[in-house]
Amino acid sequence: MLRFPFEVFLALRYLRPTRNFISVITLISVLGVVLGVGVLIVVISVMSGFDRQLRETLLGFEPHVLITDGYGQPLSNYPEVMERIADFPGVRGAAPVIIGPVMMEIFRSDGSSEVFAPFVRGIHPDFEKTVSTIHEDMLGGATMNFPGRVVYIGRDLARQVNLAQGDTIALHSYGNLKKMREALDSGEKLAIFPDEFVIDGVFDVGYYEFNSNFILLSLWDAQDLYGLGRKNLVHGVQVMVEDPMNAGAVRDKLADHLGKDYYLTTWTERKGELLNAIMVEKNVMFYILFFIMLVAAFGIMGTLIAFVIQKTREIGILKALGAGRAQIMGIFLSQSIFVGVIGVTFGFMLGLAMVSIRNDFLRLMNWLTGFELFPASIYQFTELPALIIPGDIAIICGGAMLMCLLAGIVPSWNAGRLKPVEALRHE
């Protein structure tokens, strides 16, 4: 038969539910720990999932390193640049790119037209596969082969402007609009007709900003659109590196290798503010929600203080029978530990369960409230991502247990200091 020290035995006996106010307070304290641990696990897991999914999405569309002309001009020798960095340590691939805003005009069946201003990204389909995952994000079986004057449009942009595969759009480049404006200012009449393209497919990279603002077209069509075709110019060269987290070091070495005629930026410099904001939000939420467990710890402390007062006579009898101060303290510290273990255990299970059903719960709340609680236009993702990091879980559970233990020190110390005569004086 398993034998417990009498401190643990009494602590377990005192924790048995009884019909008094102390038991109610104890239950509330346990529920406080359960909710604190569970909610904190959910929030930190979701914030970690945001960070991971955002990085993966950005790294699938954004170049890890972008090489442009050091003097702000189009890049005239991109084949040479690509050849120079092809075997550079840490580089996995390189591809030319043309990127910039355009005016997109859509002609409706009723004779009306609408104008939008997305970004175009001119890419070489063969080289692009070495620097991004766009070719894997095509919907409806479309392939990014560019058969003729075609474009590929983001899913959310297609929904916003009511376009589908096979529709025709007209694109006006900023350069052409500027030429017509300059001709008008000089008193001349110049009309440059837009370039018409057929939508050959729709892509979904999983990030609202990209899906709603970008159109893909071939590098040569983008060169014609921006007037760069005759000189074989591009806006820059995209570079994918072996370790995206080490893009800064690779950028510095590439800059030394290529010379001062080129300007290099990393993905963290272009999108780092967004990632830093998510990390700050994660840390702030961690500290704020940790106060839930702090409140629960004060509840445990209040419960034990009331319990010590209620059990003053029993403490006096135990001391009169020879129980030492450490043994009396052990009784109430054991109670605090048991409350912490129960609360952390059930909070851990509650947190994992909530993480597993987070999107089902989100859809239920959307249906009950009648509006979208997690709009993709704000949070960039259509569902709640989550990533359970063992280190974060260990910090949450360990911190909760430590707070529960500390909450029991003051009441147990006061109980250990009671003298038998004073405890039994009024009996």
What domain count does the chain have? Answer: 2
Q: Residue 268: inside a domain, yes or no?
A: no
Q: Residue 209: inside a domain, yes or no?
A: yes
Q: What are phi and psi of 75, to 5 degrees?
A: -80, 120
Return the H-helix or E-strand segment holding 65: strand 65-69
For 400, the token pair is 């909760």
Q: Residue 64: inside a domain, yes or no?
A: no
Residues 235 and 283 in one domain: no
- pLDDT score at 246: 87
pLDDT, tens digit (0-9, with 9 covering 90-100), for 156-208: 898 888 888 888 888 887 777 777 777 777 877 777 777 889 999 899 887 77
Q: Residue 65: inside a domain, yes or no?
A: no
**Count of all residues that appear for the chain in the document:** 427
- Yes or no: say if 423 and 319 are a contact pair by the CB < 8 Å rule: yes
* Model confidence at 128: pLDDT above 50: yes
Does this model's pTM top 0.75? My answer is no
Domain boundary among 232, 260, 288: 260
Q: Residue 192: inside a domain, yes or no?
A: yes
Report the candidate in 153, 138, 123 with the shortest Cα–Cα distance to residue 214: 153
Residue 372, Cβ neighbours under 10 Å: how many? Answer: 13
C-alpha span between 93 and 76 (Å, rounded): 19
Residues 50 and 84 in one domain: no
Q: What is the mean pLDDT of residues 81-86?
A: 89
Residues 341 and 404 in one domain: yes
* Model confidence at 141: pLDDT above 80: no
Residues 288 and 253 in one domain: no
Residues 241 and 344 in one domain: no
Q: Residue 249: inside a domain, yes or no?
A: yes
Expressed as residue numbers, the domain containing 90 is 72-260
- Summary mean pLDDT of the chain: 80
pLDDT, tens digit (0-9, with 9 covering 90-100), for 301-357: 777 777 676 666 666 666 666 667 677 777 777 777 888 888 889 999 999 999 998
Residues 38 and 78 in one domain: no
- pLDDT score at 2: 46
Cα within 13 Å of Cα(295), Cβ side: 13
* Residue 285, SS3 per DSSP: helix
Q: Residue 251: inside a domain, yes or no?
A: yes
- pLDDT score at 95: 92
Q: What is the mean pLDDT of residues 398-424?
A: 75
Q: Residue 265: inside a domain, yes or no?
A: no
DSSP letter string, 358-406: HHHHHHHHHHHHSS-SS-HHHHS-SS------HHHHHHHHHHHHHHHHH
C-alpha span between 279 and 275 (Å, rounded): 6
Q: What is the mean pLDDT of residues 95-111?
A: 85
Residues 91 and 192 in one domain: yes
